Amino acid sequence: MSLRVLLIDDHTLFRVGLEGLLSSRGIEVVASVNSGQEGKQLVAELKPDVILLDMRMPGIDGLGVLKMLREDGLAMPIAMLTTSSEETDLVESLRAGAQGYLLKDMEPDDLVLALRDIVAGKTVVAPDLAPILAKAVQGKSDEPAGNEASPFDDLTPRETEILGLLAEGQSNKAIARNLGISDGTVKLHVKAILRKLGVHSRVEAAVMAVEQGLQRSSVS
């Protein structure tokens, strides 16, 4: 299935290079523009599957553009594509409605996979930033660290195992292969995990798992 991307970035050379990389992997860049205002005008006309948005831009920065598009009622997925690994940029972007926070030094194939996951409804954060996101969530938690019951107490051993693999950034297919079960079974477990933890995305669940040290010793 062809994926249609609208790219908003003020660096012309980067845009041209990325357009070539994506095109060579079967992804159509429907427009490549250098400002949020220009992108906003084209969104309704072109109806892309996903918007790739730079964080650092003159005039209205990426976060401002993201908020502007969401205030306009735009529901399509928007992913930040940035060099910034700042905790505040990451947290503010997710709070403002970004479905992805990706780094410009990602491998092209990883970027393509991330875009497909985002269009499929997942929230994707660059794996390198998982510890930063975990730290942010931990730092902003108002919960006392006393004798509160842990939400993980409700998970079955299999769900705990799958959550640990989620924390490593593994896909449903990879988890299914690792555990010798079907993709469908993994999906059911993931749904149950999200419900029990009271979160809405795999990323949030993975962050909680990272905080609790549930991931196996993964190779980074």
pLDDT in tens, 48-103: 999 999 998 888 888 899 998 888 888 889 999 998 888 888 888 888 889 999 99
Q: What pLDDT sits at residue 33?
A: 92
Range of the domain at 203: 143-212
In a domain, 207, yes or no: yes
Q: Which of 129, 151, 172 is the last residue of a domain?
A: 129
Residues in the chain where the model's pLDDT stays below 50: 141-147, 217-220
CATH number at residue 112: 3.40.50.2300
Cα(114)–Cα(174) distance, integer angstroms? 15
**Same structural domain, 7 and 103:** yes
Residue 154 has what DSSP assignment? G
Q: How far apart are the first and last CA of the chain?
A: 31
Q: Does an H or E element contain 109, and which?
A: helix 108-119
Q: Which of 103, 129, 155 is the last residue of a domain?
A: 129
CATH number at residue 149: 1.10.10.10
Residue 209, CA atoms < 13 Å, CB-side half-sphere: 27
Is-above-0.85 flag for pTM? no
Q: What pLDDT sits at residue 144?
A: 45
Q: What pLDDT sits at residue 114?
A: 92
